[in-house]
A and B are shown apart, each in its own frame.
Chain A
Amino acid sequence: MKSNRVLLSILGWVIGFIIFFPILWMVMASLKTEIEAVATPPSFFFTPTLENYFVVQSRSDYLNYAWNSIVISVFATLLAILIAVPASYSFAFRPTKRTQFKLVWILSTKMMPPVGVLIPMYLFYKNMGLLDTHLGLILIYTLINLPIVIWVLYTYFKDIPQEILEAAQMECDGLLNIFLYILLPLSKSAIFSTSLLSIVLIWNESFWSLNLTAFEAAPLTTFISSYSSPEGLFWAKLSAASTLAILPIMFLGWVTQKQMVKGLTLGAVK
């Protein structure tokens, strides 16, 4: 029993380390010089330098990208939640014969490779004047994340006993009151953790941001990729840029990890 525990925790640490290793490697590389960063065999002991960070900051405007990432991920998430809550509500509490089909259909849109619609989307964005705008990215990220947000909220709403809502229906007039006094307080943690999930997904998305933005509305993923350019691969600077890019989201994740785990295991453990 006890040796089992020890073994399990060793296994946990090993898996944790494997998952964490790329991040550790990236942070290490960001503190090396370009030559050290590409050296074989890699050096584990070196004199750390912050030079890469200074170069990155002076060459590109980090705050501009970070601000764009924040604006886009927050607003796209808000919009997705705003659309998904009523959608999930009706799927969960007013199901019809076609509800299951619709849910699967909604999810199936996630299975399409984005590159398949790149050209039409690009042309559409170009004609609508949405290229390199916050609005453009907010719209596309809302649509991309909507299926997942709807599904997570749907699964949560399904767990709320129907009778509670029926009792509310007997006692308060109008859907809005039921929503404000019963549904929202009951599902606020679900909505919160779903929002976090959505923000993380948007933060890390790079396909559409690379193709639809240049600088004005470009988020941090674009910022990172500018260091892997035709002029050559600047490994250490790329690492410094990446570290900077994931810093805010890592901080958010660390602060809200309890909520996040709760949200991801919704319905799984009851």
Chain B
Amino acid sequence: MPSGAPISIWDLFQHADFVVKLVMVGLLVASVAVWAIAIEKLILYSRTRRAMDSFEQAFWSGQSLEELYRTLASRPTHSMAALFVAAMREWKRSLEGQPRSFAGLQMRIEKVMDVTIQREIARLERHLLVLATVGSAGPFVGLFGTVWGIMTSFRAIAGQQSTSLAVVAPGIAEALFATAIGLVAAIPATIFYNKFVSDVNKQAQRLEGFADEFVAILSRQIDERG
């Protein structure tokens, strides 16, 4: 590198050690993945929230539950609608198959709804672990690249028998670039992870609240029939 020439980011990458390059590329891939997951989750959560809003509106509009079930069961559903469909399917199956046995029906409906809630939460939480990992390990990986790069540049100093800043500066700049990439990847990952965890918690609470309400409605029906 000619001394005095401005150091561009490409130069920093190009002159770095192999291990540092590997760290930089890995962190760049992690950053791409973090942002992809973040975009996907942002879309998913807003869609889920809108679906829940529209379903609750339909549910409490006074429409017949049978009709609602018929409309929803024809196509695959998610979140609250899936909860409703699962509970209604169990209800109908119990009524159609053995009309007299109401004893375990409420418990079965609760179980079915629990399983559905778990499945929905698992769907919402998928890939969030990647964000958590990048958020916590990214700075360390970048630091490793930095330490390695500084080690290499100090070995270069020892080889050149010169301690001038011009010898040290490029190597240390390369090495610090690794930490910079690590932080660039890790900071959004941590922010998005915290945001998404709280979003998932909110949606899970909303699902559980709906499940409790729906079980209460069905339980009243069972008591009226039994």
Bound together: no
